[in-house]
Structure 1
């Protein structure tokens, strides 16, 4: 009788397969059902309150424009953290993208500005990689330092580059030529007409789709395409597997011949480039010029969108869309729309309470019902909300969403941990 031979490779050889996430992940059909339910509730609220602006084409188009820089910053954070490097410096890399994009766009044209803005953000990413990967400085400290350094550098460079130019000043660049926009002929008008009908759910879906095909920048199209491209590269290619292994178990990756330093460097540089592209969007598309303070914390909100999306591109895109939508309320009928959304919030909290009750989490169900009752009382007892509440809505939604989604999150296991070559020997 022979016994199976066990080799040292069988016992000790680690694999590059990242650990499976803990907890339950929503399947695509369930996720689509949740989105459809949220749209149905939104449509019901629109009919009850008469706030047609919450789902019209203009609102959705503005929301998409505001979501793009947040999504690009979030994608940048995703690339870095999947390789094990926390990138708090996304805000600073976006700032570099806004300045370099507007400066080069003013000098040599908008598409050159796009390229130079990406390079500017990538330089910030390179600095972050040198400090964190090579010198093992704490990732949070490095990121905060880059944010401060980027702000100081652009404040120093802006007067040198823009003062004395027509339309320029110490805090603003001259106007940059447009990258161009496109509208899908026929389809845009048809969806707009359908949205104007005011029908339940159908008109709301038409408004959502209409915002995706009306007056869309070419850079928006590129940004949207980067979401599935990121998913395919990181989850369907050997390169992506090696990169993700560096964020899960760099010692195991190194033992199988992966150059962990190289992949971390590449990931953080790409991260900076994507954040820089988000900055370019702000200074070339959202506004055709650089303006000091233009990012307004979008790098941090992008990081929140990445966490909300559980370090996955699809979830990140949904989070960016949510934050972009709430931000758009500031620009289009803010007070009336936010007041209507109080009713939506109360209904969503009621649905959450029912979900907790079904799962026998009775304490959470009672607390959720109580909060929902307070929100409904606020809606029923007022005709509008103060402008200060409208301005704070994107940030409040960011905090609430992160708090509610915290229990299902699983970050890469080695995210933010120091690593030295050969430490597993």
Structure 2
């Protein structure tokens, strides 16, 4: 089965690049497949991937974690505050610790005291936002910070590329940049593919490389180790797992703590890598988007990566120019038409009709408007993510005991 899935995934990836190339040719929006767009999309995707993976560990253990947003806020603040004084790597470690601390509060409330998971998560989000603002104000009044909403700058972390393919410098040797050379040829499809690969593999922060490793690592830990089996059993059938000797409380605590650590790292990434300082409202809902990516990916790391990539790509385009966002609308039409065909083949006539309606409305807007208003350009990443996730959603297979309070011995 795994041997079959890999070629299929590769074919789908090539199909996506081919569609992007066609749309670029039709609209003339060169930024659609540029190196800069691919690089920005990866940078913007990483915090969402980390938040989504955090939600995965928590929910696989049976605990709903709406508090990912607050844990990311705590991680971003800690990364900026500690990183300013002790360097970026120590700042990232602090971000992990602060995120895990927020998760510990959530775990105590939900696992030990049986508080409703959603109520606890919302409380974590509210407390985190207020707490970091209060601490920032104290630091500002003491003269350590220049303002109550922004930390001093943090030193940058090194960057590099994949040798031979994407340039980079290794021990004084400057590597060739084959993908960059191909991208500059402006050949149909080939240069588009090379530009996207160059953006994804060149000038990468070392933290980005580490963050991407967490995707296959999560697959291995959750599905290939005894720890992962025990953690998933705590979210599927905790009473049965307890009868087989699994410490369900410990597994749930472990899942929530790992969740907070990953979310905190995502917040630290925003403060240290995506920017070079902490700024108030820097997280900007990415914890919630991480949860949306978790649902889009049907509680699987690969699906989370795809959902985060979708938002990152749309967000990167709105940072380039309005022409790219206008081209994105045509891309949405093509994707929706594909989904209509898929739903018709599966016999889902109502869903196909609704999706076709969205496709027709999007095509009309693409043809009727030459330049999008600035407000709509800013909103487009969120609208695109909501639309595609809604119509492409599959039947969710959430853990059976997710969000259900657990008491030892099966007592409620």
Q: Is the 8 A contact 1:309 1:315 kept in 2?
A: yes
**Unpaired segments of 5 or more residues in structure 2?**
167-176
Q: Relative to structure 2, which stretch is displaced further, 124-133 or 337-346?
A: 337-346
Match of 1:102 in 2: 80
Q: Secondary structure at the match of 1:221?
A: helix
Q: Relative to structure 2, which stretch is displaced further, 177-186 or 409-418?
A: 177-186
Match of 1:400 in 2: 387
1:365 aligns with 2:352: yes
Corresponding residue to 1:390 among 377, 380, 383: 377
Match of 1:349 in 2: 336
Q: Relative to structure 2, which stretch is displaced further, 414-423 or 154-163?
A: 154-163
Match of 1:177 in 2: 155
Q: Is the 8 A contact 1:246 1:253 kept in 2?
A: yes
Per-residue CA deviations over 1:29-68 (Å, capped at 9, x if unaligned) read: 4343333322221111011111110111110101110000
CA distance in 2, matches of 1:175, 1:163: 18
1:61 aligns with 2:39: yes
1:239 aligns with 2:227: yes
1:81 aligns with 2:59: yes
Q: Secondary structure at the match of 1:294?
A: coil
Corresponding residue to 2:112 among 134, 140, 150: 134
How many residues align? The count is 399
Q: Is the 8 A contact 2:318 2:381 kept in 1?
A: no
Per-residue CA deviations over 1:327-351 (Å, capped at 9, x if unaligned) read: 1122112x10111111111122222
TM-score (norm 1): 0.90
Deviation for aligned residue 1:140: 0.2
Q: Relative to structure 2, which stretch is displaced further, 318-327 or 239-248?
A: 318-327
1:42 aligns with 2:20: yes
TM-score (norm 2): 0.93
CA distance in 1, matches of 2:92, 2:346: 49
Corresponding residue to 1:375 among 362, 365, 368: 362
Match of 2:396 in 1: 409
Q: Secondary structure at the match of 2:409?
A: coil
What are the within-5 Å matches in structure 2 for residues 265-414 of structure 1?
265-333=253-321, 335-414=322-401
**Unpaired segments of 5 or more residues in structure 1?**
1-25
Match of 1:149 in 2: 127
Deviation for aligned residue 1:185: 4.9
Q: Secondary structure at the match of 1:422?
A: helix
Q: Is the 8 A contact 1:167 1:175 kept in 2?
A: no
Cα distance change on mapping 1:165 and 1:63 into 2, 3 Å: farther
